[in-house]
Amino acid sequence: MFRKRAFTLVELLVVISIIALLVAMLLPALGKARKQAKKTVCQAYLHQWGLVFHMEFQENGGRVLGGARHPEAQELGDGTTGEAGAEAWPAILYDYYVNQEFRFCPEAPIEKNQGFGDHKTAWNLNADGAYAAFLGFDEMAGSYGINDWVYNPPAGVKTSFGFVLTDENYNSPDVRNTDEIPLFLDCVLTGSFPLDTDSPPALPQWPYYHSSLIGRYCMDRHGSGTLNGLFLDGHARSVGCKELWTLKWSRGFKTANAHTLAGWASRSLWEAEAPWMVDFPDF
């Protein structure tokens, strides 16, 4: 008669240890795969936004977005005050996006009481209602922001948020090198007017809302120093944080500036201004 042999305590501990070791080895790979999946979904959302923008461009006679006005803008009569510009995209494009979910990057979900966003949180301007009231629109929340220089202002409007538009903005998608012109990217607010003199954010998290307007996009949202962006030609791709200074944000944006290789950017500059970005790829 044979007796069934049971595992000894030592054997059980060995098996448990092996399982624990395998789990420890697999978890980082699973985490990396999950992050990559979110990055891919984000790029797919941006591709959908590309279709939305270009439908609007066609409806707008081949011009890019016009602005939305505060109800009192006409009463002021100067054609500038109350002009929200391209940052009014949630209101302007509302009829095109039935799926509200693709306003939010999977890496940056909304928080009810959030105002400005950060690298892992969507912006939600309904939190205080000020900007929503400015536009007369109550769906002011998302993870993406527009390049405010891609803007076709109404007749007589020469400024937006204090920035002079004359000869700087793109008022049509029918321009050269549209694959180098950012349109819509991961962002901590509805949009921004990047300048080639902007400095990077000193910290990898909030606050991004400071004198550096390019800083609203400069975040490590998708790992390895990258965010996602949609370009004026309709393609969406990964964008390096340091690469932001090489893109043609406006007609006058100088890509050979202090933060690019073409402008002789040095490691010491990044160490001084944004240590968290030092080891990101240079552009």
> Count of domains in the chain?
1
- CA proximity to 273, closest of 167, 184, 197, 189: 197
Q: Note whether residue 113 is domain-resident.
A: yes
CB of 42 closer than 8 Å to CB of 228: yes
In a domain, 282, yes or no: no
pLDDT at 148: 93
Domain extent, residue 269, equals 36-277
Q: How many CB atoms lie within 10 A of CB 114?
A: 17
Side-chain-facing half-sphere of 115: CA atoms under 13 Å: 8
Rounded to whole angstroms, how far apart are CA atoms 57 and 63?
Answer: 5
pLDDT at 104 over 70: yes
pLDDT of residue 15: 66
- In this structure, is residue 20 part of a structural domain? no
Confidence at 87, pLDDT banded by 50, 70, 90: confident
Higher pLDDT, 248 or 127: 248
If one compares 246 and 30, the residue with the highest pLDDT of the two is 246
- Whether residue 262 lies inside any domain: the answer is yes
Pinpoint the alpha helices (H) of the chain. 9-59, 73-76, 89-92, 130-135, 267-273
- The answer to the question of residue 16 being in a domain is no
Q: Contact 164/252 with Cβ under 8 angstroms?
A: no
Does residue 128 lie in a domain region? Answer: yes
Question: Does residue 3 fall inside a structural domain?
Answer: no
Residue holding tokens 């700087």? 168
At 151, the amino acid letter reads Y
23 assigned to some structural domain: no
What is the average pLDDT across 143-156? 89
Length of the chain: 283
Encode burial over 52-85: b for 16+ CB neighbours within 10 A, e otherwise: bbbebbeeeeebbbbbbbbeebeeeeebbebbbb
pLDDT above 90 coverage of the chain, percent: 46
Give pTM, 2 decimals. 0.83
64 neighbors 170 (Cβ within 8 angstroms): yes
pLDDT 10s digits, 162-196: 788 888 999 999 999 999 999 999 999 889 999 99
Residue 74 has pLDDT above 50, yes or no: no
Residue 254, CA distances (Å) to 155, 197, 216, 222 in order: 28, 9, 19, 27
- For residue 211, is pLDDT > 70? no
d(CA 30, CA 171): 44
Kindly tell me if the per-residue pLDDT of 145 is higher than 90. yes
